Structure formats: C-alpha cells, structure tokens
C-alpha cells in the first residue's frame, strides 16, 4: 500500500510522507542536471555561490533545474546547455549523459542527471541569473586536487559531486 501524505507544498519544495517516511520533493522542476564541463585545454569548470541552507559559499559543479523555466517539457540536455551558459558563460558543442541517480536517497526523491559537456567555447562571463551571484573557476585538471585542497583549508565547503566528476574524467567509460 502506497500511502502518500502532503505535509507542506511551497513554491519550490514539498514535504511528503510515504509509508511513514518523510521526504522532500521539488514542486517546481522535473529534474536536476549536474554538468561535468571540460575545456579543450583540459580544464574543469566549477562554480562558487552562496547557499542559504548552509549559510556559506560552496564550490560546486555547474548545475540547475530541469523544466523550471517556461518549458515544463524541457529535456535534460537542453537544461544542461542552458544552465552551463547561464552559470559559466560557456557553450558546449558536445553533451553526453553520464548517469542519472538519486541525489540524497534518504531525504529526497530528486534524481540528478550528470552530463559531460565538451567542445566548449566561452561566449560570455557567466555568473548566473538575476537571483544568483556565481563565481566561475576554470582549473587545469592537473592542478584541481591541489586547488580543491587549498579551498578546503580556507574553510570553503565543497559539493562532493565534484569528486564524482573527477572520477569520470580519470576513468572514462560507461558508468552504468
């Protein structure tokens, strides 16, 4: 029996309960995309932005919601293309789905789809939309471990999905 109760529904999130388990669900999007963006020069693109839930700037992969704009039927690849340009100022001629998986299976029904973006060309400054203040970091892959360690020693939180991206870049192949 699948008893689902809605305890709260906001503009962006809902708090639900299914079979005595409470969890969060997005009420404004159909999915989430995380972008593993690599320049032709062998650099990974990361972003840094303030995140209210942790009250800190956080270093992350470029990412965003799918179907949260005017088009509720937006595809994963269209969202990846849109979010990459909006957040980083880069366009990708190559987009490839790497994997879709739960982002935090005990807390949310959210599924994140990782997309590898290649053949990049910078067309603008990035920085996000009017509600965001995003700093773009373009780091050579051979320096990224040291760069991340330095940021961590400064107390800047890192989204662990960065390390998933680095694994895929180090061991390319079918992750499924």
Candidates 143, 50, 35; CA nearest to 90 is 35
Indicate which residue of 4, 130, 142, 154 is catalytic. 130
Number of Cα atoms under 13 Å in the Cβ half of residue 147: 15
CA distances from 12 to 25, 36, 123, 124 (A): 9, 25, 30, 28
Is there a contact between 20 and 62 (Cβ–Cβ < 8 Å)?
no
Contacts of 55 (CB under 8 A, 6+ apart): none
Q: Does residue 48 have an active-site annotation?
A: no
Catalytic (active-site) positions: 130
């Amino acid at each position: 029996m699948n008893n689902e109760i809605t305890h709260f529904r906001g503009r962006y999130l809902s708090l639900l309960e299914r079979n005595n388990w409470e969890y969060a669900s997005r009420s404004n999007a159909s999915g989430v995309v995380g972008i593993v963006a690599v320049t032709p020069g062998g650099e990974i693109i990361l972003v840094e932005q303030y995140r209210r839930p942790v009250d800190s700037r956080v270093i992350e992969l470029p990412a965003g919601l799918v179907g949260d704009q005017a088009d509720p039927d937006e595809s994963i690849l269209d969202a990846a293309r849109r979010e990459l340009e909006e957040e980083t100022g880069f366009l990708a001629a190559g987009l490839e789905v790497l994997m879709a998986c739960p982002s935090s299976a005990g807390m949310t029904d959210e599924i994140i789809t990782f997309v590898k973006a290649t053949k990049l060309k910078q067309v603008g400054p990035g920085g996000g939309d009017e509600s965001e203040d995003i700093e773009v970091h373009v780091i050579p892959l051979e320096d990224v471990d040291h760069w991340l360690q330095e940021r961590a020693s400064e107390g800047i939180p890192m989204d662990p999905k960065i390390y998933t991206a680095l694994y895929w870049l180090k061991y390319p192949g079918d992750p499924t």
